Structure 1
Amino acid sequence: MSRAPRATKAVEVEEDPDLPVRSNPDLLGHDHAAATLEKAARSGRLPHAWMAAGPPGIGKATLGYRFARWLMAGMAERDPVPGAASLHLPEEHPTFRRIAAGAHADLRALRPNTGDGGVKKVIRVDDARAAIRFMAMTPAEGGWRFVLVDGAELLQPQAANALLKTLEEPPPRSVLMLTTAAPDRLLPTILSRVRRLDLSPLPDAAMETLLRRLQPDLNPTERDALARIAQGSPGRALMLAEGEGLAIQAMVDEVLNGLAQGDRRRWHALADGVAAKRDGSSFATFVALLRQAISSAVRSAARGQAPPPWLALRPLAEWSTLWDSLGRLASETDGLSLDRKQAVLTALGWLTPKR
């Protein structure tokens, strides 16, 4: 009698969050930074350490991978291609394909992971030390060794100190590139040993081009709204588009525009909606957009521009204090696994002016 076939266990494939960045052939709005890197490489005196600084999601890691691909493909030793963008490497190039697949022997990327306590993401010291050993090895393909530290402000103190030793005595034919949204959180000794590139938010035209190509189903009104709340950050725009960012922005607008009436009847329904997702993504987006709306309104008032009517409900100093308090509330709610609905209700209570 034949046996019934044994059921096979489904193999879970771990998602690679870095794949969209590694395989992205485009770099919009940062031509000067790319040209600076290419010029330095062609000079024959390439600095061994760089730092790309700027707001989250504007293309810092994209620039890092673009530089790594171009450098490791030996393009610095070849004549420039007439009319080609800085650091351009065709998608069909073998180096491009291997890096996109995460299979290049001379490239390593460090990204924040959940720390030992499981509360916040950090770049661990063990990973930093492994990257240092990697940099000290002879390039496997005869060119360069490249380490990209994406989110360097999240280096553990021991990890930062370990990298500092490599910055002081860099191995030959190696490049270390840091990206950070908070350069002031890095050690001064690290900042003094890297060549800094400051990346600015993308202009409206570049954001429009990008959103039209990546989000073709959005109508012009939705694209305009997405570009406005993303504030020149393509990564943030895509995250908001995929995570119901426009719907959450509508909730934020409803809350702020209704402050004068003090109507609390919809508070619980709104808090339920914000806290619905178990991963906390809607809550994080709600608080981030709420704080962004407050900071934008305060800046407009400080510049003599017409702020939204709700800003007049309290002094500017109180709005600044409230902005800080909302940030702490979000951090504590996430770090201590507090009830998100109650956190939203707390935030709404703080926003409502006293009568």
Structure 2
Amino acid sequence: MSGYAPEQAASWAPRHNPDLFGHETVEKALLQAWSGGRLPHAWLITGPRGVGKATLAFRFARFLLAHGPAAGMDAGPSLFGDAPALPESLHIPEEHPVFARVASAGHADLITVERSWDEKGDRWRSEIVVQDIRAVIERFGMTAAEGGYRVCIVDAADDMNTNAANALLKILEEPPPNAVLLLVSHAPGSLLPTIRSRCRRLALKPLDDAALDQATGKLLPDLDAAERRGLRVLAEGAPGRAVMLAGQGGLKLLHGLLDLVGQLPRPDLAQLHAFGDKLARDRSGNSFQLLGELFRWWLARLVRAAAAGQIGGAGWHEVFPGETAVAQRLAQWQSPVRWAEDWEQFGRLLDRGESVNLDRKQMLLNIFAVLGRTAAR
């Protein structure tokens, strides 16, 4: 597999990313709302993780900060000539001064709300707290520094605790003029109904294969064709997920795990222990956490495909060569219903192990012990 440095992903973080793929309809809706001169003050941008929600939010923020309020741009020809041409997209070129200032977090009229650093705990907070939102209230109480829009991006709104959500609600109920809030949400159902009702919703859908290939070709140009095909399956239409998986070696992790699963009920013990040792050496726990996520994803994929009789069929696409054979073999061990029960059991085992910081290698061995009993039935 070709190399990919995790730090490359930072250059394509939403604040720095000039490109948006596969969401032309949503972009057109934002352009039309702006050009009509009656732009809603709050937008709720929803969709799966990694699909481009934050990228869209920063793209729209740059556009608003660069263009300012529209002046009847959809009104047609005037008495003294044609109306200004409507921009065809929200794109702001990287050489534009607004782009550079947004990328460096140096634009006075853009406020970004994320989970903040807890100096006492010496770590990132697990939620957005009320102090973070109060900073928005203070900034929105001032006149725009450059006379145009003031824009606030909350990424992600799902991270707000109750006090923060109630504070944000006050802004939504009494929005200042020329202020726009862009709320990114992976799970809008978790938000207060009163917040959802005061926002215009934009739902971003997973990209189709052509748009995802275009995105990964631009974001991950060093990947070979086989890796790109595998990431297309794993990413499920979310280019941000593809970048994350490429940066953290997701394909290699899943391949290593399924290679061992395919050896059951008698896996190569030396290979299994070596795999467990590798996971244990990652003190951050990120590799094991990603492996657990991918394993649960793969088992869910197995259950769905086995129940529909689609393993190896027209709708089945391999993550890597040999995966189909492993899936077909496991599907013969027991019914999809029993695999669904095992999926829940493995999920509880992984969650419990992470919550009490159990030895990661031992958790891996426990999972293979369960799988070995299933294979031997």
| Displacement of 1:89 | 1.6
1:216 counterpart = 2:221: yes
Which residue of structure 1 aligns with residue 196 of structure 2?
A: 191
1:201 counterpart = 2:226: no
Distance 1:75 1:144 in 2: 6
1:94 counterpart = 2:97: yes
Distance 2:11 2:219 in 1: 17
* 2:342 counterpart letter in structure 1: L
Q: Give CA-to-partner distance per residue, 1:137-174, whole Å, 9 cap, x none.
A: 22111111111111211111211111112112212211
Within 5 Å, give how 1:55-134 maps onto structure 2: 55-74=48-67, 77=70, 85-113=88-116, 121-134=126-139
Distance 1:88 1:62 in 2: 11
SS in 2 for 1:50: strand
Within 5 Å, give how 1:1-355 maps onto structure 2: 20-74=13-67, 77=70, 85-113=88-116, 121-259=126-264, 261-263=265-267, 265=269, 266-306=271-311, 308-309=327-328, 310-354=330-374, 355=377
* 1:219 counterpart letter in structure 2: D
SS in 1 for 2:13: helix
SS in 1 for 2:14: helix
Q: Give CA-to-partner distance per residue, 1:240-261, whole Å, 9 cap, x none.
A: 21212221021232244334x3
| Displacement of 1:90 | 2.0
SS in 2 for 1:179: strand
Report the TM-score when normalising by structure 2. Answer: 0.81
Given the superposition, is the C-alpha separation of residues 311 and 102 from structure 1 closer, same or farther in structure 2, using an over 3 Å criterion?
same
Distance 1:303 1:75 in 2: 52
* 2:27 counterpart letter in structure 1: A
Q: Give CA-to-partner distance per residue, 1:37-80, whole Å, 9 cap, x none.
A: 11111112211111111111111100000000101112652759
Given the superposition, is the C-alpha separation of residues 267 and 113 from structure 1 closer, same or farther in structure 2, using an over 3 Å criterion?
farther
SS in 2 for 1:22: coil
Distance 1:114 1:327 in 2: 30
* 2:91 counterpart letter in structure 1: H
Given the superposition, is the C-alpha separation of residues 154 and 323 from structure 1 closer, same or farther in structure 2, using an over 3 Å criterion?
farther
Given the superposition, is the C-alpha separation of residues 286 and 71 from structure 1 closer, same or farther in structure 2, using an over 3 Å criterion?
same
Distance 2:85 2:338 in 1: 56
Q: Percent identity?
A: 42
Distance 1:63 1:194 in 2: 16
| Displacement of 1:103 | 0.5
SS in 1 for 2:181: strand
Given the superposition, is the C-alpha separation of residues 152 and 332 from structure 1 closer, same or farther in structure 2, using an over 3 Å criterion?
farther
* 2:222 counterpart letter in structure 1: D
Q: Give CA-to-partner distance per residue, 1:300-331, whole Å, 9 cap, x none.
A: 23444237321342333333333344444444
| Displacement of 1:213 | 2.9
Q: For the aligned residues, what is the CA RMSD? A: 2.7
| Displacement of 1:17 | 5.8
Distance 1:120 1:321 in 2: 34
Distance 2:337 2:153 in 1: 40
More deviation, 118-127/165-174:
118-127
Tell whether the 8 Å contact from 1:274 to 1:286 is kept in structure 2 after alignment.
no
More deviation, 343-352/170-179:
343-352
Distance 1:182 1:350 in 2: 32
Given the superposition, is the C-alpha separation of residues 323 and 181 from structure 1 closer, same or farther in structure 2, using an over 3 Å criterion?
farther
Tell whether the 8 Å contact from 1:120 to 1:335 is kept in structure 2 after alignment.
no
Distance 1:103 1:50 in 2: 23
Distance 1:17 1:137 in 2: 32
The runs of 5 or more residues in structure 1 that have no matched partner are: 1-15
| Displacement of 1:353 | 3.8
Given the superposition, is the C-alpha separation of residues 296 and 335 from structure 1 closer, same or farther in structure 2, using an over 3 Å criterion?
same
The runs of 5 or more residues in structure 2 that have no matched partner are: 1-8, 75-83, 313-326
Tell whether the 8 Å contact from 2:235 to 2:242 is kept in structure 1 after alignment.
yes
Given the superposition, is the C-alpha separation of residues 104 and 306 from structure 1 closer, same or farther in structure 2, using an over 3 Å criterion?
same
| Displacement of 1:114 | 6.2
Higher relative contact order (CA 8 A, sep 6+): 2
More deviation, 274-283/119-128:
119-128
Distance 2:177 2:349 in 1: 47
